[in-house]
Amino acid sequence: MTTVAGPLQEPVREEIVVYGHPLLHMKIWEIGMDPPSPAGGEAYGPWHHHKEVELLAMVEGAMGMQTQDGYLSLGPGDVALLGVSQLHRTHRAGPAPVRFIVLQVDLGRHLEGAALPYLYGLSEGAAPLGRLNELFRDKPEVRRETYALVSHMYEEYSGRERGYELAIGSAIQRLLWLFVRYDEGGLLPAAAERDLLRLRPALDYVDSHLQERITVEEVSRLLNFSYHYFIRYFRSAMGCSFVDYVNRKRIKAAERLLLTRDLSIAEAALEAGVPSIAQFYKLFKRFNRCSPKEFVSRMSSREGV
């Protein structure tokens, strides 16, 4: 099957999310694709991303999904997980109608109490949540239970009988437990609750100042830490240096810019907060094992096979 690569364009992203219930911080709905696609599949839709974690549960038909990490073939009973702002595009992969459930959820709003030690991992500090798709591939029991939970949430939300909020909230917690319990690859490391709470202002600062110059000195002052104590504390709690954390955030932002906007590499680097093009190339190759040009070429022409 040949991928038809269209012109680069702004990503489809919902800036204002209207949640079905103010305390659930999620929305869930069903999508159907009719009429059936012609034999041999059809072209991809545009690259896009969402501000929430997204789970897809396939009810019927066949669909292909491309992400930076690879290509997923989805059929009835399959599920796919997309992390926050993870770029992806989809296409129907067969002649039958397609129907699937979409769950978008702000996981951060559900990480309280006993879940706080996993805030760093579930907030994608250690690795993109999309890597957890390996669980669905390697552990059928996890795939089946995830599918059942998403289907259950959709039924509860559609029916809205008394107590449906409790049922959905409980199902989300069960999903979090599944991901943590079966995470044998160490993608969701646990951190001490106290450490995460102390570092939260620093993490929020990085998110809101990514395009600006960020120094260890200003962030350590924000927390009332000395320079050297902050460096040690951050690495101990987060599993990486503060500089690496910021650089990873910037390169992920640059990836989205390169795939979804008609920008030069220098322009994307500047918008992502890396004004030095030489430094940008060095960082990009460290995190992607290819140059920015190779990345765009690969992601624009990869065949969905």
pLDDT of residue 5: 36
250 band by pLDDT with thresholds 50, 70 and 90: very high
pLDDT of residue 12: 52
* Sign of the C-alpha dihedral computed for residues 231, 232, 238 and 243 taken in this order: positive
**Least trusted range by pLDDT, from 20-34, 128-142, 197-211, 256-270:** 20-34
Residue 238 near residue 249, CB atoms below 8 Å: no
More confident of the two residues 238 and 241:
241
| Distance in angstroms (rounded) separating the CA atoms of residues 39 and 91 | 13
In this model, does residue 300 exceed pLDDT 90?
Answer: no
CATH class of domain segment(s) 193-301: mainly alpha
**Least trusted range by pLDDT, from 116-130, 143-157, 173-187:** 116-130
| Distance in angstroms (rounded) separating the CA atoms of residues 246 and 249 | 5
Residue 54 near residue 82, CB atoms below 8 Å: yes
Q: Quote the Cα angle for 86-90-94, to 5°.
A: 155
In this model, does residue 221 exceed pLDDT 80?
Answer: yes
**Least trusted range by pLDDT, from 14-23, 58-67, 155-164, 231-240:** 14-23
Q: Which residues fall within 8 angstroms of residue 181, CB to CB, at 6 or more apart?
A: none
pLDDT of residue 116: 64
- pLDDT tens, position by position, 266-288: 999 999 999 999 999 999 998 88
192 band by pLDDT with thresholds 50, 70 and 90: low
3-class SS at 1?
coil
Nearest partner of 168 among 22, 30, 60, judged by Cα: 22
pLDDT of residue 7: 39
pLDDT of residue 3: 32
In this model, does residue 165 exceed pLDDT 70?
Answer: yes
User: Angle between the 227-238 and 242-260 helix axes, to the nearest 10 degrees?
Assistant: 60
- pLDDT tens, position by position, 26-45: 999 999 977 654 544 467 88
φ, ψ at 5 (rounded to 5°): -90, 115
CATH of 26-181, one of 2.60.120.10, 3.40.50.300, 3.40.50.720, 2.60.40.790: 2.60.120.10
Listed by start position, the domains of the chain span 26-181, 193-301
More confident of the two residues 24 and 263:
263
| Distance in angstroms (rounded) separating the CA atoms of residues 162 and 154 | 15
pLDDT of residue 184: 85
Nearest partner of 301 among 91, 1, 88, 5, judged by Cα: 5
pLDDT of residue 19: 60
Computed over every residue of the chain, the mean pLDDT equals 84
